[in-house]
Structure formats: C-alpha cells, structure tokens
Structure 1
Amino acid sequence: MSNTKVIIAGGGIAGPVLAIFLKLKGYEPVVYERADSPTGLGLSLCLQPNGLKVLALIPGLVESIVGKEIEKMKFVSVLEEDAGVLAQSDALSQVSARFGFRLRGTRRPVFHRTLLAAAERHGVRVVFGHQLVALEQDDESVRVTFANGHTDSASFVVGCDGLHSNTRVCLFGKEEATFTGLTQASGLASGSECALIVNFSDRRDLPYGAHMIYYPINDKQISWAITLQEPEAKETWRDMDEDRQREFKKGQFSQWGFGAGELVKTADTLVKYGLYDRPELQTWHKGRVVLLGDAAHPTSPVPPRAGRQSGVRGHLPLCAAAHAAQPDRRGAVHGDALRGVRGARAAAHPAHVVAREEGREQGEGRVVHGVERRKVCNDAVRAAWKDEGNMVQGYAMLFEQPFTGKSEI
C-alpha cells in the first residue's frame, strides 16, 4: 500500500512540525526548503502555552526544546515626564497552569534545529536547495517545479514558504509586500531576567515613538527588540555592519532605564529589518494547495497578540487536522485533512482578522510620539492591569484559541 504523499514547501518552523503530524498519521510528507542548509536567521521565539500543548502531541519534542520559562510580565515607561513601572503581574503563570505549560523563550535557530532533528527521527525527508517556482494541479495530484529544474508530484501541497511565498504567487498572482511604517532593531545580550518586559518611551531625536520588549531565551541570554516608526528598512535579517552597531549601541536607547539600556550597550548580536504586510486573502487554499503561516497572513510581531493567529509559525488547525486525519485503506487520495483545514480556518478566519487588527492597533499604540499621547497610553496600561482578575481571564481566553503558538523576534 502506498501512502498519500504531501509536499510541504518551506522547511522553517511550520513545515517540519506539520510534516511530523502527517507522518504520524500515515501520510508520506516531504519538505522542500529553498535554503541550501539550516540557517541561523532570526533571533528568538516566545512559545505560548497552547502552542506547546500542540507540540506535546509529538512524543518527546517539548522536553527537547532548549529555552527559558517566563514567569511574569512587566510594563515600564522611560518617558522622562512619566517614568516608572506601569504594571507587573504573574497573570501569565496563573493562566499557564490551566494548560500545563508556561510561556517559554527560545533561540530561534536552536529551536529550528530541534524541529529538524525531530522530523528526521520520525522518518520525514527534508530536501534543501529546492525553491518552488511553479504548480500544476488536476483532480488527482499536484505537480511542483523547482528553481533548479527538479520536479515532483503529490496528492497535496502546503505552502509554508514565508512572507515572500512562491506558493502564494502561483495560486493568487504576484503582489507587493507593503511596508507597515515600522522597523525593528533586535539583539541578544547576557542576562537572567525571567520576565517578559514591555518598555515604552518617546524618541526625542525624531518625530516617532518607540517601544522595547525583552525576555529570556535561556539561563544566560536575553532577546530584545525595539520597534520604531521610521523610513523603510529592507527585511534582510542580516547583522548590522560594525559602524552601525557601534552607533546604535551608543545612541539614545543605551540610556533607557530598567536594564533596557544595558541590554542595548552589551548586545553581541544586532539585526534590523522592516515589518511588512500582505493584502487579506478571502481563502487560504485553491484545489489541492493550501497556505500556512506568513505565506497566508503575515502579522505584526506584537506579543502576545502576534501569536494569536500564528501557531508555531503557522495556523495550528492545519496541524490538528493532520493529527486527526488518516489516509484510506487503499492509500488513495482522500481529502479529510484538507477539509479539516478548510473547516478550522473558516472558523478561525473572523478571529484572525480581529487579532490582526488588534496587533496593528497595539503596534501603533506602542510607538506613539508626543509626551501627552504617551501619557495617555501609559494610563491605559495602568487601567487595564488594575483589575488583574480580568487580565487573567483575558489571557486565558487568548490562550484557549487553538491556533495560537508563538511570538517572534
């Protein structure tokens, strides 16, 4: 009996996870990744409780993840006219107890290698150096062509190939990614803080605001990101050159309080990139091909809202559907998995739209400029956290969404 074959375009985070679920249920997945080898791109992920709960369906995977549990949240302001701790809470720990997992910071390249190793242990074939460039599908299968001339066919194709997804182009045509007006400068520094901290400020040198978020990724390192409103910076995920790094480390952010400035000054890794968006799609699939993660819906990285529609780098309903579905006894093509995805995504779509708009609003609210506007936002944070019981309930509802998984720097 031949198993139902599924081609997964993209070997980042979602691709290997989905492939393992499919393999466990009797499918024959193969992952094609455009890069020639696993990369060190990206700095960190903040894995959320319900994302970890889904990953726990893969035996031994969660136990192998190297990271640091996050015990609390703290909001601070370094605005000179309104400096201090706005709110702090262990609400996340209270909520996490309901799921059996806490938020966990992890180094993205390390987590990526962990997923690839898990896929290999489960017999998943991951092929590097293959970038999808064309699709042809009929009632029975999908034929995929890669940039190097190689071709392959399968019963289904899942596009996990990111913001610049060729799978999406093949399905819905070429479109330009839209710059959101926000950039992020991110870094890694030594530290042992166990909180997820959001640091609000106002930039005196430019007519833009800024905010910083940082959290632990292991016992010795803190990952941080400063979001700015400023002219476009291309999404390269590359290190700043040495001159720009020195300038940044000595700049205004190095003077921030509550330990933030020290993280900037002592960073041993610095990257900068623009944040981009795509037009909203009314459907994430066509025929036997479906999109996953940033290929379908890139989102502003405003933790924890970003994770609300992204489950370990993609929608977890797809993984859940794969976990539940089985090929038929003859090994013939059958669409239970894809129908499950359609149903789950149809249910999730309104929430995804709402969460996406919330993420945009929060992103804009965190980078407002002007002392009075910043004070208003600070007061809103104080008011929101005044009733911690409501915040605990709110986060519980957030994490109960089945398609939540991570926030990323």
Structure 2
Amino acid sequence: MASSERAPTKVIVVGCGVAGPVLACFLKSKGYTPVVYERIVRDSDGGLSLMLQANGLRVLALIPGLLDQLPGVVEDHMEFCSTVPGHEDQLGEYTYITSSDTARLTMEDLNNIPGMGIRRYDFLHLLSETALQAGVEIHYERKVVDVHQHADSVEVKFEDGTTDTASFVVGCDGIHSNTRVSLFGREEASYTGLTQLGGFSPSPKSWKHKNTMSNYFGEESHMISYQVGPNLNSWAITRREAEHKETWRAVDDSMLQELKKDPVSEWSFGAGELLQTAHKMIKYGLYDRPELKTWYKGRVVLLGDAAHPTSPHLGQGANQALEDIYHLVRVLMKYNPSAGDPSTEVLKNAFEEYESIRLPRTSALVKQARQVGDKMRVISGVDACLARDESVRAIWANPEIGLRNLARARTGPFEGESEI
C-alpha cells in the first residue's frame, strides 16, 4: 500500500470518563483512529460533580466550540467560613471580575475565576457526544481485563473473552485501572482515614451571591459547595471516620433522611440548609494508591487517575488528566508527526518525555492535596481549628496571596500559544 493510502494508525483508549473521549478527539484530529472502550453502561449517573479550573479549561478550549457548550456554572465568588461551635465567622471572601457575561467564558477570563462547577453526568455526556460527532468509535459495557504486548502491536482482552488489537494503548480507566494492573501488577489500596459525604441541593435562599464556591471549616469536618446549575449546588463533607467502601452509589431514601440529621445540618452560612434540602447523596471512603515510578511499559501508557490518583482536596483530578492529554498529544506529534504506525522506540521517546514533564508535577500535587486534607480541612481540637481559621483569614485579608496559592495548582499546561 502506498504511503498516501496507508490505513490510519489505530489506538485503543481504555475508559470513557473525562480523559478518554477528550484524548480520542485530539488523536482523531491528528490523523489517528482512536477506539474507546468503557466498562460501564452509556450515560451512567455515577458520581456528583467536579470543578473545571483554568488549566483544564485551556485544554478543552482547544476543541473547537466545546468551551461554549459546557453545561456548568462559572463561579465568580469565593467565601470562607468557620463553623467551629462558638466561633462561627466569615473568614474571607473574594469576587472575581470577568471580561464577559459569566454565562460564557473567554480565554481572557480563565485566569480570573475559581472555576466552573459542572455535574459529572452532564459533562461526561457532552464529552462522549463530542467524540462521537468527531467520528470516534466508542464501545460501552466492554471491560478490559488484560493487555498483551507484541513487537509492533498490543492486544487487549475483554471480560467476555473477546479481544481487539491496536498499534498502542492508552489507559484512561481511572482509579480502578485494569490497564495499570496489567502493566505493574495489583496493588493494595490504603484507606486514608477520610470519608466524603456529598450531594445535590437547591442553592440556599440566604445566599446573596449565587455563583459562589464556599468553604466551611469546622472541627473534624470540612464542607465545600459550588453551583452546578440554575439553583442547584453540589457539595461534599470530608471527615475522619471508620473505613467506608469506595463506592459512588447514591444512598437509598431511608438513609438519605437519616444523613440529613448529620451535625453539619446545624451549621450556619447556608451549609446546614444544603444538607437538609439534599435530594441526592452519596458516601464514599478516600483511598490512596502507591506512587508509580513510571507510567508506561512498551506500547502501553497510563494517563489521569490510572497513573496518578489523587485525593479531591485541590479539585485537580480531572484538570490534571486534561494536562496529561495535552502533553501526551504534543509529544506524539513531536516524535510521530505523520501519525503513522510508530515503532516501539518512537513510542519510548514520546512516553519518556511525557512522563518526565508530568510525573514530577502530578506527584507534587498529589502530596499537596493530601496535606490540604490533613492539615487544613480535617483538624481535631478547638485550638488547632482556631489557628487554622486565623491562617485562612490572614491569607484572604490580602487576596493576592490567596490567588497566588490557587494559581500554583491551576497554572498550566502551557503558556501563550498551544503547540497542538
């Protein structure tokens, strides 16, 4: 076959969460033929929400028209409150000034907002539809259970015994990644000692500013809330307690009513109202995985939570996966500009550069997220809590300091013009 008639290089993308369809869109636009396999049913309603921050939004903006379609809410206000009994107080607040209506985002706005709150279901549906419209093939209820590498290809095996083959494979299959297990063996997940209880609720009537990301600092509990739709807020309470299995299933009605009696229901500043009016809740434990020293082997590479799972305390999980995508696509273009069938040596060069850029950054952010959870959010003892509260107050007394702290996590993945 003449080079001008060669078949496009097939790439198997494992996982159709946040990372999989976005990666597939970029690969498709660069001349590859990505095929996405997802283990669960299409449009599954697991999880709650996420916060898209400037670094992740920059990557999404590279897909034409996608930014304008995002069905989320731009948070242009931040509020920090202490709910320690007897010491309830507002610790600080900040309002962002954007250059446009907050219903729409421009690139100029991206550095001037806390982020965009978005329902996970809505976001994943949009991403998968965007990939399908771009001509990407997506297969649901196809669980990858093993990966076998050959000299110039990779074979993936599914739970039903069938297989598929591609030039190379990208594992975007999340914190329970079977691609990772196939490469590096099964690891023991360790419970962090923290659980989260999260839900959806109407926005509190007492709030003067609706598009608000609120942090509530209590004793042995922390709550974060942000708007994800018209008069709809998503929230999560983190606390230290006995192990709770890592599941994203909603609680049943009887447990929902019981959870509404949680001590947080007495908190002020609208926090208690969020819990009392919740119409959906889930509860789950937070777990750590061992840090990997490398993210690839041969013709298979990991991305997002499959490579570097993180606790949620910086809100950077999805955003870091999007950064991964940007750099992985960039190095593939660098080392394989024709999008032809790459040799293992070409993939090695690309994967090594991708890893050298991404591994140090994500490792530092994973550690920072754990520290925020342990040292700032879930603290025991009134004196320690009051000291924490004063630290928060001091930071937001000079908003430039607080904004610099936020920028450390959300600056990236590129400065100026993109390279892809």
TM-score (norm. length: structure 2) = 0.88
Q: Secondary structure at the match of 1:225?
A: strand
Q: What's the CA shift string for 1:203-254, capped at 9, x where partnerless?
A: xxxxxx1100000001220000000100111111111122221111122111
Partner of 2:194: 182
Counterpart selection for 2:248 from 237, 244, 249 = 237
- State the alpha-carbon separation in 1 of the partners of residues 49 and 319 from structure 2: 18
Per the TM alignment, residue 184 of structure 1 is displaced from its structure 2 partner at its CA by 0.5
Q: Secondary structure at the match of 2:282?
A: strand
Partner of 1:31: 36
Q: 1:99 to 1:83 in 2, by over 3 A?
A: closer
Q: Secondary structure at the match of 1:81?
A: coil
Partner of 1:269: 280
User: Where does 1:14-53 land on structure 2 (aligned, <5 Å)?
Assistant: 14-53=19-58
The amino acid of 1:344's aligned partner reads Y
Partner of 1:352: 362
- Confirm whether residue 107 of structure 1 aligns to residue 108 of structure 2: no
- State the alpha-carbon separation in 2 of the partners of residues 90 and 213 from structure 1: 17
Q: 1:225 to 1:323 in 2, by over 3 A?
A: farther
Q: What's the CA shift string for 1:323-368, capped at 9, x where partnerless?
A: 7675537656577676444313312322222211111111012111
- State the alpha-carbon separation in 2 of the partners of residues 251 and 125 from structure 1: 45
User: Where does 1:76-155 land on structure 2 (aligned, <5 Å)?
Assistant: 76-90=81-95, 97=109, 99=111, 103-155=115-167
Q: Is the 2:13–2:20 contact (alpha carbons within 8 Å) kept by the matching residues of 1?
A: yes
- State the alpha-carbon separation in 2 of the partners of residues 329 and 283 from structure 1: 24
- Confirm whether residue 201 of structure 1 aligns to residue 213 of structure 2: no
Counterpart selection for 2:68 from 53, 63, 67 = 63
Q: Is the 1:27–1:326 contact (alpha carbons within 8 Å) kept by the matching residues of 2?
A: no
Q: 1:341 to 1:64 in 2, by over 3 A?
A: farther
Q: 1:371 to 1:394 in 2, by over 3 A?
A: closer
Q: 1:241 to 1:65 in 2, by over 3 A?
A: same
**Taking every aligned residue pair, what percent have the same amino acid on both sides?**
42
- Confirm whether residue 292 of structure 1 aligns to residue 303 of structure 2: yes
The amino acid of 2:266's aligned partner reads Q
- State the alpha-carbon separation in 2 of the partners of residues 309 and 108 from structure 1: 13
Counterpart selection for 1:380 from 374, 377, 391 = 391
- Confirm whether residue 255 of structure 1 aligns to residue 266 of structure 2: yes
Q: Secondary structure at the match of 2:338?
A: coil
Q: 1:141 to 1:370 in 2, by over 3 A?
A: same
Q: Is the 1:187–1:224 contact (alpha carbons within 8 Å) kept by the matching residues of 2?
A: yes
- State the alpha-carbon separation in 2 of the partners of residues 320 and 12 from structure 1: 21
Q: 1:44 to 1:104 in 2, by over 3 A?
A: same
- State the alpha-carbon separation in 1 of the partners of residues 234 and 311 from structure 2: 17
The amino acid of 2:369's aligned partner reads G
Per the TM alignment, residue 295 of structure 1 is displaced from its structure 2 partner at its CA by 1.1
- State the alpha-carbon separation in 1 of the partners of residues 197 and 186 from structure 2: 29
Q: 1:322 to 1:220 in 2, by over 3 A?
A: farther
Q: Secondary structure at the match of 2:27?
A: helix
Partner of 2:104: none
Q: 1:57 to 1:308 in 2, by over 3 A?
A: closer
Q: 1:399 to 1:338 in 2, by over 3 A?
A: farther
The amino acid of 2:279's aligned partner reads D
Q: Secondary structure at the match of 2:192?
A: strand
Q: Is the 2:298–2:344 contact (alpha carbons within 8 Å) kept by the matching residues of 1?
A: no
Q: 1:394 to 1:370 in 2, by over 3 A?
A: closer
- State the alpha-carbon separation in 2 of the partners of residues 140 and 402 from structure 1: 31
Partner of 2:103: none
Partner of 1:73: 78
Counterpart selection for 1:370 from 381, 391, 404 = 381
Q: 1:74 to 1:320 in 2, by over 3 A?
A: farther
Q: 1:265 to 1:322 in 2, by over 3 A?
A: farther
Q: Is the 2:189–2:288 contact (alpha carbons within 8 Å) kept by the matching residues of 1?
A: yes
Q: Is the 2:9–2:340 contact (alpha carbons within 8 Å) kept by the matching residues of 1?
A: no
Per the TM alignment, residue 392 of structure 1 is displaced from its structure 2 partner at its CA by 2.8
Unaligned runs of 5+ residues in structure 2 are 1-5, 100-106, 205-209, 415-420
- Confirm whether residue 6 of structure 1 aligns to residue 23 of structure 2: no
Per the TM alignment, residue 80 of structure 1 is displaced from its structure 2 partner at its CA by 1.9
Q: Secondary structure at the match of 2:368?
A: helix
TM-score (norm. length: structure 1) = 0.90
Partner of 2:59: 54
Range 98-107 or range 357-366, more displaced: 98-107
